[in-house]
């Protein structure tokens, strides 16, 4: 069966900056028609809101419900064709379509990248672009963008969005048998200790083992620390034995050789295993109980060991073991909420 031809973003498409990370910038497609000369172009808005503009703009059906992701020009940047190929081959078979933040290649029109790079530079001069992201722009060598499922509440004002990183739902195989911290909590303790020593801000978050606990009160403990969650009990009911998170747990268990003695860090197995431990779960739910709930996993680009990442994974695991972070022998000013902590008993999720 032949694949349908790729979509093309029309010339003159207008975009609105929403957010960016180290490797990509995400935009909303505001209109696929060129800006009228007598009207102002869609401004750069870090919060994604431009009152009075959205209603008058048109977006064809093939772009509705989608955001546009554009690749930044970085040394470790992976071409979008390769990212899409890895996603189709390695990630899609593991989940149902409705469980994933989908991604689809789209051709970019000539001049679009240059135009929005100019906008980024202007935003830097106006102080509207985050300081830590300045100086890095969109890749002029990348001919594609990625259309991704829009999990914002922009077109669904009656909904709320919570997002969390399930991270390591199982303990690292390199952790000591007497560990009192899971892999995520051990790493958080280490980072918080360094912040505490330097007078920086410390992070409080949930233990991912609680997300897949057989006890509802443990899931509730986790949801109380989820960003964007205004109703922890309701979110806990959604996540308790949730099919998508249980499936993610099963895949993490199937790819469990992630410690010091697993497959080579540059291998495909290690890349997939680390990808499954660094995704994001988006939960979009109606403010009342009448509508449907949407739960999708995103940030599932294959995490390769290139650019020193493989050695970083190995060195980090060695440090967590040798410096006693798994044992909880060091601490910052915050107590750990890890499910493995002595007072809460040892815990291992079942499938």
Reported as a single tens digit per residue, the pLDDT across 338-351 is: 999 855 544 444 33
What residue spans define the domains of the chain?
7-150, 160-344
Cα–Cα distance measured from residue 351 to residue 348, given in angstroms and rounded to the nearest whole number: 10
Question: Which element (helix H / strand E) includes 160?
Answer: strand 159-164
Contact 190, 324 (CB under 8 A): no
pLDDT given at position 51:
42
Cα–Cα distance measured from residue 118 to residue 137, given in angstroms and rounded to the nearest whole number: 9
pLDDT given at position 274:
93
3-state secondary structure 237-268: HHHCCCHHHHHHHHHHHHCCCCCCCCCCCCCH
Q: Which residues pair with 107 in a beta bridge?
A: 8, 144
Contact 186, 316 (CB under 8 A): no
Q: Provide DSSP, 48-100.
A: ---TTTGGG----GGGTTEEEEEEB--TT---HHHHHHHIIIIIGGGS-GGGB
pLDDT in tens, 192-231: 998 888 888 888 899 999 999 999 999 999 999 997 788 9
**Residue 253 pLDDT level (bands cut at 50, 70, 90):** very high
Residue that wins the pLDDT comparison between 207 and 258: 207
Q: Could you tell me what percentage of the chain is helix, strand and coil, using 3-state DSSP and rounding each to the nearest 5? A: 30, 15, 50
- Characterize the bridge pairing of strands 294-298 and 280-286: antiparallel
Residue that wins the pLDDT comparison between 40 and 145: 145
- Could you tell me what percent of the chain has a pLDDT over 70? 88
Cα–Cα distance measured from residue 4 to residue 171, given in angstroms and rounded to the nearest whole number: 42
**264 pLDDT higher than 80:** no
Q: Count Cβ atoms below 10 Å from residue 293 Cβ, excluding itself.
A: 14
Cα–Cα distance measured from residue 39 to residue 37, given in angstroms and rounded to the nearest whole number: 5
CATH number given to 7-150? 3.30.200
pTM equals 0.88
Exposure on the CB side of residue 242, measured as CA atoms within 13 A: 23
pLDDT in tens, 30-88: 998 876 543 455 566 655 444 444 444 578 889 999 999 999 999 888 999 999 999 99
pLDDT given at position 349:
44
pLDDT in tens, 152-191: 999 888 899 999 999 999 999 999 999 999 999 999 999 9
């Amino acid at each position: 069966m032949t694949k349908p031809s790729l979509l093309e973003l029309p010339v003159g498409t207008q975009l609105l900056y929403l957010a960016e990370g180290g490797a990509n910038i995400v935009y909303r497609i505001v209109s696929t028609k060129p800006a009228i000369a007598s009207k102002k172009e869609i401004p750069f808005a870090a919060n994604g809101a431009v009152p009075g503009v959205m209603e008058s703009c048109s977006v064809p059906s093939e772009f509705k419900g989608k955001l546009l992701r554009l690749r930044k020009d970085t040394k470790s940047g992976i071409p979008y064709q390769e990212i899409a190929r890895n996603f189709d081959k390695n990630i899609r078979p593991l989940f149902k379509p409705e469980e994933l933040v989908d991604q689809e290649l789209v051709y970019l029109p000539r001049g679009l990248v240059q135009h929005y790079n100019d906008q980024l530079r202007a935003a830097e001069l106006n102080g509207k672009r985050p300081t830590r992201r300045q100086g890095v722009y969109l890749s002029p060598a990348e001919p594609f963008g990625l259309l991704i499922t829009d999990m914002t509440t922009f077109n669904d004002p009656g909904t709320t969005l919570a997002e969390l990183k399930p991270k390591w739902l199982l303990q690292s195989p390199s952790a000591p048998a007497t560990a009192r911290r899971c892999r995520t909590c051990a790493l958080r303790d280490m980072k918080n200790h360094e912040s505490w020593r330097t007078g920086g801000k410390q992070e409080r978050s949930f233990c991912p083992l609680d997300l897949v606990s057989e006890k509802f009160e443990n899931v509730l403990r986790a949801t109380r620390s989820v960003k964007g969650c205004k109703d922890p009990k309701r979110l806990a009911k959604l996540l308790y034995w949730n099919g998508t998170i249980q499936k993610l747990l099963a895949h993490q268990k199937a790819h469990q050789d992630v410690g010091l003695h697993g497959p080579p860090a540059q291998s495909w197995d290690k890349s997939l295993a680390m990808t499954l431990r660094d995704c994001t779960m988006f939960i979009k739910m109606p403010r009342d109980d009448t509508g449907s709930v949407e739960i999708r996993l995103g940030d599932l680009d294959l995490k390769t060991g290139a650019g020193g990442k493989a050695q970083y994974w190995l060195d980090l695991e060695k440090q967590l073991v040798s410096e006693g972070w798994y044992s909880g022998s060091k601490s910052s000013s915050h107590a750990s909420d890890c499910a493995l902590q002595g007072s809460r008993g040892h815990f291992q999720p079942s499938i």
